Structure 1
Amino acid sequence: MSTQTPARPAAPSLAQSTWLVAEREITMRLRSKTFLISTAILLLLVLASIVIGGFIAQNSSDDTIPVAVVGTADQAIGDAAGLDVTDAASVEEATELVRDGTVDAAIVPDDSTPLGIAILAETEVPASLVAQLSVSPPVTLLDETATNPFLTYLVSLAFGIVFFMSAMTFGSTIAQNVVEEKQTRVVEILMSAIPVHALLAGKVLGNSILAFGQIAVTAALSIVGLTIIGQTELLTGLGMPIVWFVVFFAIGFVLLASLFAATASMVSRQEDIGSTTTPVTMLVMLPYFAVVFFNDNPTVLTIMSYVPFSAPVGMPVRLFLGTAAWWEPLLSLAILLATTAVTIWLGSRIYQNSLLKMGARVKWGEALTS
């Protein structure tokens, strides 16, 4: 009597292996109290910053408003309180005071209007200025295409926070998970069942899905916050920049996630993660600080929009400001795609060459050439 040996189940394909790892990553993160609490804190901070910023902007209308006054236009001020008046000898001098930021607006004579006066302002008129005057004159903006500086800062801060927090949260998670699996030898079991490339791809895919989900919830809360403070014009202008931000972030996060996984595989202890991932961490931090401190500097923003690691923040901000030509996002995206492809290849090589090496930190030359 013969016995038949049961057929061995077919090995999972590369796609199936990748999804198994991705599903495992997602499940582990969603069961982590630390991840859930940190996500909740991030969402509360985003919502609070938007709402508080809006209230501060609204309350700022109660402060003293610096204005320049030319000649007989001072009659329009009357006994108005809350104005810090600077006398100007001519309309040209008053205009210069407005342009250099010395005053928020200028009240000048204008015989072409029935009231005989007009207001000059750079990008917007202080909310309470017209109401404090004894008459309501016509308003002329010196730069009608400029964006409200407060809104520029708010949008830059929002893009910067989302990029920074999402990249750091999930990037550090990937790094810690790689080292933990290597330190406990779990990676040896995983590599016996699935290809190394599938292991790396699954980690990047799983954490990317979580990152995009976090961004979606953050965007929804941002819309709620902007609605609460009445910034409906800002919501309208943010449509296309948000779309481009999602596209740039999707590709840029894959780039950063690959680097976090690759550099973490070069060490065998949690305490040593910082020794190899610090350069990647700096690539995440620099765009955040740059967009916060230089959101009003067109040169810095232009450079940021073409550097792959900062393009996910720099280009959307430029699109919101209207300073980027139609072809610039496409060129920047092409540069980011090419850089990401090269980074994935290098990261995969480092990951594969370093994952099974225990003990001392793997040197860069050894990780790239083994």
Structure 2
Amino acid sequence: MIVATREIVVRALNKGFLIGLAVTVAMIGGLIGFTAYLDGRTQSFDVAVVASDESASTALESAAAEAASDDQKIELSVVRVDSAAAAETALDEETADAWLSSAAAAGADGWTLSGWREPDGELTQLIETTVRDQVLAGHAVDAGTTMDALTAGSEVETERLDGNPVDPQIVFVAGFVLAFLFFMGTVGSGAMIAGSVIEEKQSRLVEIIATAVPLRQLLAGKIIGSSVIALGQNLLLAAVGLVGASFTDLSAILPAMTTTMLWFVVFFTVGFVAVAALYAVAGSLASRTEDLQYTTSPLMMLLMGVYVVTFSADGMLERVLSYIPPASIVSMPVRVLNGDALWWEPLVSLLVLVVTTLGALLLAERAYRGALMQTGGRVTWKTALAAERGTTLGA
């Protein structure tokens, strides 16, 4: 516990760590704030229409009323001009965002929505819907029927049979966020524990520490300390994200996101113990700081692969990854959010992760004890394990 406390205090007072954490929190807060701003803002459009074009004027007035009644966060203002040339001038001088002309005014079979550049997509969709309804209503009158009679039975309702209200795009974003938290937490804290080990080894301080603290307890203290820091960091970032999401349109699915985040914290807590142990071994295999790039590269490649694959995986690949550590740390919580996992699947996946972590701890402990006292160059895993085995047999 003395070693763990020292690791926590040193890391918590590290300026680089604190600055990086503050920047990350600010980025998350800024992204959520920007999203909330986009969700809440109302777009205003000025649409020109030639005064003599009564059909277009009627359509724009209907579109403005529909946008206001449906709360589409669009405000539409009608700018009446005297001629087509005046409408083009209004677009050129940016006193109007678009110009609507009816089929009769355009002398063609269809209506035209003109802009100096490409008209806004939401504005185009609103006007297209309004014009379609207006034209259909006119055709219905000509045919001696009504609009309601023509459209009766044409309504289409959407239904998701798994009962999960979470949109697939939100699931994808959540997968990216969890993969990012996993990668940042494991690599950042893992690099710190590897750096701490090589610092003590290179300065020969570990030889003094070893006389008072058994190497097994030294390793355990470093793992506990780095795990507490990594878990605390992810809890802080998750809390910022969840609180921020409550101010956006995602507030409706906040319970599902909270459950997913809790599963992620549990999986990460267990899985990071194995990652921290392996990073400690990577530090012990090095003889100087410059060797860390070589000894930590396999771990970095593994974690990078998990980061890239997990947030983009779906279907059968995601199901398989949800049972394979360390990818299951991200994939299983994502499946929980997606409503794709049965109640027992996270428990089985967690059990597999626990067993894998215990195996990694036993292997890492042997390699750590075998490599920590060796100097003069990089130590391989084979040499470290053989040295520990020889020490145990000799004892």
Fold conserved between structures, TM > 0.5: yes
Verify: 1:354 aligned to 2:371, yes or no.
yes
- Pick closer, same or farther for the CA change 1:255–1:53 going to 2, 3 Å: farther
Counterpart amino acid of residue 380 in structure 2? K
Match of 1:288 among 279, 301, 307: 307
TM-superposed CA distance for 1:302, in Å, is 0.9
Question: Which stretch shows the higher mean deviation, 170-179 or 283-292?
Answer: 283-292
Q: Is the aligned partner of 1:367 residue 2:384?
A: yes
Matches within 5 A, 1:222-237: 222-237=241-256
Q: How does 1:66-145 map to 2 (within 5 A)?
A: 77-78=133-134, 116=152, 118-120=154-156, 140-143=157-160, 145=163
Count of aligned positions: 296
How far apart are the structure 2 equivalents of 1:211 and 1:48?
22
Task: Pick which of 318-327 and 141-150 moved more.
Answer: 141-150
Partner of residue 184 from structure 1, selected from 185, 194, 203: 203
Tell me how far 1:221 sits from its aligned partner. 0.7
Shift in Å, 1:239: 2.8
How do 1:297-308 residues align onto structure 2 when only pairs under 5 Å count? 297-308=314-325
The corresponding residue for 1:213 is 232
Whole-angstrom CA distance in 2 between matches of 1:58 and 1:142:
27
Q: What is the identity, as a one-letter code, of the residue corresponding to 1:359?
A: G
Q: Which residue in 2 is equivalent to 1:38?
A: 20
Q: Note the C-alpha offset of 1:56.
A: 5.1
Q: Go from structure 1 to structure 2 and tell me whether the alpha carbon gap of 1:57 and 1:315 turns closer, same or farther (over 3 Å shift).
A: farther
The worse-fitting range, judged by mean Cα deviation, of 153-162 and 196-205 is: 153-162
* Alignment counterpart, residue 6 of structure 2, candidates 8, 24, 29: 24
Q: Give the match's secondary structure for 1:211.
A: helix
1:314 pairs with 324, 331, 336, which one? 331
* Paired amino acid for 2:182: F
Letter in 1 for 2:357: T
Alpha-carbon contact 1:267-1:359 (below 8 Å) kept: no
Q: CA deviation at 1:74?
A: 9.3
Q: Looking at CA atoms only, which structure, 1 or 2, has the larger radius of gyration?
A: 2
Aligned partners of 1:304 and 1:58: how far apart in 2?
37
Return closer, same or farther for 1:78/1:292 CA change in 2, 3 Å cut-off: farther
- How far, CA to CA, are the matches of 2:27 and 2:287 in structure 1? 35
Return closer, same or farther for 1:244/1:110 CA change in 2, 3 Å cut-off: farther
1:48 aligns with 2:105: no
> Aligned with 2:322: secondary structure?
helix
Matches within 5 A, 1:53-68: 53-55=35-37, 64=121
* Structure 1 residues 78 and 42: alpha-carbon distance in aligned structure 2, compared to 1, 3 A threshold: same
CA deviation string 1:135-170 (max 9, x = no partner):
xxxxx0053646313311221122112111111110
Please list the CA deviations of residues 78-98 of structure 1 after superposition, one character each: whole Å capped at 9, or x if unmatched.
Answer: 379xxxxxxxxxxxxxxxxxx
Matched with 1:86 is none
* Secondary structure in structure 2 of the residue aligned to 1:193: coil
- Are 1:263 and 1:350, in contact at CA under 8 Å, matched by a contact in 2? no
| Alpha carbons 1:50, 1:154 under 8 Å: kept | no
Give per-residue Cα distances to partners, 1:281-319, cap 9 Å, x unaligned: 12222222223323xx22221122111111110000000
Which moves more between the two structures, 336-345 or 282-291?
A: 282-291
In structure 2, what residue type is equivalent to 1:236? P
The within-5 A match list for 1:149-164 is 149-164=168-183
Following superposition, the deviation at residue 45 of structure 1 comes to 2.2
| 1:7-22 map, 5 Å | 19-22=1-4
- The structure 1 residue matched to 2:278, chosen from 241, 259, 276, is 259
Contact 1:287–1:310 (Cα < 8 Å) also in 2 = yes
Write the distance in 2 (CA, Å) between the matches of 1:50 and 1:285: 25
152-161 or 32-41, larger mean C-alpha shift: 152-161
**Percent of counterpart pairs with the same letter?**
34
* C-alpha separation in 1, matches of 2:214 and 2:32: 45
Letter paired with 2:355 = A
Residue 246 of structure 1: aligned partner: 265
CA deviations over 1:249-295 (Å, ceiling 9, x no partner) = 1100001000100122101111110211111112222222223323x
Gaps of at least 5 residues in structure 2 are 44-71, 75-119, 137-146, 388-395
- Offset of residue 241 of structure 1: 1.5
Partner Cα separation in structure 2 for residue 271 and residue 201 of structure 1: 25
Where do 5+ consecutive residues of structure 1 fail to align? 1-18, 68-72, 81-108, 121-139
1:45-77 Cα distance to aligned partner (Å, 9 max, x none): 22233343455567798753698xxxxx99863
1:12-66 deviation per Cα after TM superposition (whole angstroms, max 9, x unaligned): xxxxxxx000011011112211110011112222223334345556779875369
Change (3 A) 1:279 1:28: same
